Chains A and B, each alone.
Chain A
Amino acid sequence: DAKTTQPTSMDCAEGRAANLPCNHSTISGNEYVYWYRQIHSQGPQYIIHGLKNNETNEMASLIITEDRKSSTLILPHATLRDTAVYYCIVRAFTGANSKLTFGKGITLSVRP
């Protein structure tokens, strides 16, 4: 699986957009970009995933660059409950390698 690089931490003000970057320069053409988050003492929560097009759901938007070497997760109006570790994962296409390989993630702190 391609590896991802994320900053260690970032913060944003409550009510503002949080833009979380991720680099995946060795991504293959058929690998998906996934985002999960983990709040302390809970299991990882699926947020969104995409292949090449931008994606949006009720939680967030995922912007993938045209060359697919990086992406940005956007939380449009961050709340205190969005404080968590966010993981950007590149997931292989084939079934035998469909496991999720988690890195260290980025710790997002939302301040009042």
Chain B
Amino acid sequence: KAGVTQTPRYLIKTRGQQVTLSCSPISGHRSVSWYQQTPGQGLQFLFEYFSETQRNKGNFPGRFSGRQFSNSRSEMNVSTLELGDSALYLCASSLGQSSNQPQHFGDGTRLSIL
């Protein structure tokens, strides 16, 4: 069974640009969550989608947004990029929203802002 697939694996952007990251969940999984990982802040929750609706949101500015499609695939968008947005962005999928259903992570997209 294929795992969570994130594309691209690496991305380089400059300040002020915007970026879209993609996540394909494990087949049959309907919940997708996004996390940001930096050396200073560690792993931080961005948002969670289930049935194409954002169900939960972390403490990030509105420049960070996402969406989920009917096939459960998800994208996240960051606009007006800042140097501090350089991070590993991780996507995780699970069967549903129950706390008894583990989230499984992809290997992330490493975003570098110049």
Contact = CB atoms under 8 A, between A and B. Distances in A.
Contacts of B45: 99-101
B42 A92 contact: no
Contacts of B58: 99
A96 B55 contact: yes
A49 B102 contact: yes
A51 B99 CA distance: 10
Contact of A43 (B98, B100, B106): B106
**A: contact size bracket:** 20 to 34
A44 B55 contact: no
Given A42-B107, A96-B55, A99-B33, A91 B99 contact: yes
A87 B35 CA distance: 15
Contacts of A92: 99
Interface string B13-54: 000000000000000000001010000001111001000000
A34 B94 CA distance: 14
Interface in B56-86: 56, 58
B46 to A, nearest CB: 9
Interface of A: 31-32, 34, 36, 41-46, 49, 51, 87, 91-104
Interface of B: 4, 33, 35, 42-45, 48, 55-56, 58, 90, 92, 97-100, 102-108
21 contacts: A32-B100, A43-B92, A43-B106, A44-B90, A44-B92, A44-B105, A45-B105, A46-B104, A46-B105, A87-B43, A91-B99, A92-B99, A95-B55, A96-B55, A98-B56, A98-B99, A99-B48, A99-B56, A100-B43, A102-B42, A102-B43
Nearest 10 A/B pairs, CB to CB: A43-B105, A102-B43, A95-B97, A99-B45, A46-B102, A43-B107, A44-B105, A91-B99, A98-B99, A93-B99
